[in-house]
Amino acid sequence: MKIQKLKEERKKNKLSFLIKESNEVFVNTLRRLILEEVPTLAVEDIEIKENSSALFDEMLGLRLGLIPLKTDLKSYERKEKCKCGGEGCARCELKLSLKAGKKGYVYAEEAKSTDPKCTFVYPTMPVVKLLAKQKVEVTMTAILGRGKDHAKWAPGWAFYKHEPEVTVGKVSNPELLAEKCTDGVFEIDNNKVKLVEDKVYDSNLLDYYAELDKGITVKYTDNLIFTVESWGQLSTKEILHSCADILLEKINELDALL
């Protein structure tokens, strides 16, 4: 198997790479491990001391659970695997608190975490809106969990597709193609059609263009383009490292059983 990095967009937390000499079975295993097994921190228990906002306690709890929390996989352990036996200790639980009483939006950055490395990822994510004299005071416990138990623990999104190969022949209607091409795959100048190579891998409309004009042909190779997009708890590289560790762990488990 050979891997070639295609594009890394740090600001979007997105990474894509080309996998050669592999197959869908392996690549889909990676995808499912990322969505279901790679652990992240998320708020699981909340204690409400005061909530006079318009949101019900349950809604407030759900919102806090869904706000991505920066995750440090080296310092935390899943409760099931923790030495404390699941009772709760500094290695498997993170405490946060939120106290707000000012009119207007309450943002994620107002929450205080006991671990400065693990705070809410997006400071300006709104939690609740308060009217005059309304208050919210809660303490939260975040734990490591997995996407297969609740989507709030999923570290991001992963998907793959076959590598497309586009060739431009004799295009019969360049004007129509120019009108319908909305993702910049083709540059059309004086009825001459030019392929913009950089945009090909990102396009989802290639088959449509091929259908539109016989001059465009699209073929798919055996290579796979894999894309990981992080919600912010972990970097894309941390997600892939953790995914590889989990795969090895599973192989060893199987090996031990045989």
Q: Which stretch binds Zn ion (CB under 5 A): 87-95, 115-123, 124-132, 154-162?
A: 87-95
With CB under 5 A as the contact rule, the residue among 46, 64, 92, 239 that binds Zn ion is: 92
> Least distance from C-beta 83 to Zn ion, angstroms?
6
Question: Is residue 60 exposed (0-12), middle (13-18) or buried (19+ Cβ within 10 Å)?
Answer: buried
Nearer of residues 82 and 171 to Zn ion, judged by Cβ: 82
Lookup result for tokens 């297969």: 148
Count of beta carbons in the 10 Å neighbourhood of residue 119: 16
* Using rule CB under 5 A, residue 89 touches Zn ion: yes
Residue 210 contacts residue 217 (beta carbons within 8 Å): yes
Nearer of residues 67 and 92 to Zn ion, judged by Cβ: 92
> Least distance from C-beta 90 to Zn ion, angstroms?
7
Q: Where are the beta strands (DSSP E) in the chain?
A: 2-9, 14-20, 40-51, 94-100, 104-107, 112-113, 126-130, 136-145, 156-168, 186-189, 192-195, 216-230
> Least distance from C-beta 120 to Zn ion, angstroms?
22
* Using rule CB under 5 A, residue 82 touches Zn ion: yes
* Using rule CB under 5 A, residue 144 touches Zn ion: no
Question: Is residue 39 exposed (0-12), middle (13-18) or buried (19+ Cβ within 10 Å)?
Answer: buried
Q: Which stretch binds Zn ion (CB under 5 A): 84-92, 162-170, 194-202, 218-226?
A: 84-92
CA atoms of 101 and 93, how far apart (whole Å): 27
* Using rule CB under 5 A, residue 84 touches Zn ion: yes
CA atoms of 208 and 193, how far apart (whole Å): 16
User: Number of residues in contact with Zn ion, rule: CB under 5 A?
Assistant: 5
Q: Which stretch binds Zn ion (CB under 5 A): 20-28, 44-52, 60-68, 78-86?
A: 78-86
Token digits of residue 258: 């045989």
Concatenated DSSP letters for 138-153?
Answer: EEEEEEEE-TTT-GGG
> Least distance from C-beta 60 to Zn ion, angstroms?
26
> Least distance from C-beta 85 to Zn ion, angstroms?
8
> Least distance from C-beta 77 to Zn ion, angstroms?
7
Token digits of residue 207: 């088959």
* Using rule CB under 5 A, residue 75 touches Zn ion: no
Contacts of Zn ion in 14-33 (CB under 5 A): none
> Least distance from C-beta 115 to Zn ion, angstroms?
14
Contacts of 208 (CB under 8 A, 6+ apart): 180
Nearer of residues 48 and 89 to Zn ion, judged by Cβ: 89
Site residues (vs Zn ion, CB under 5 A) = 82, 84, 89, 91-92
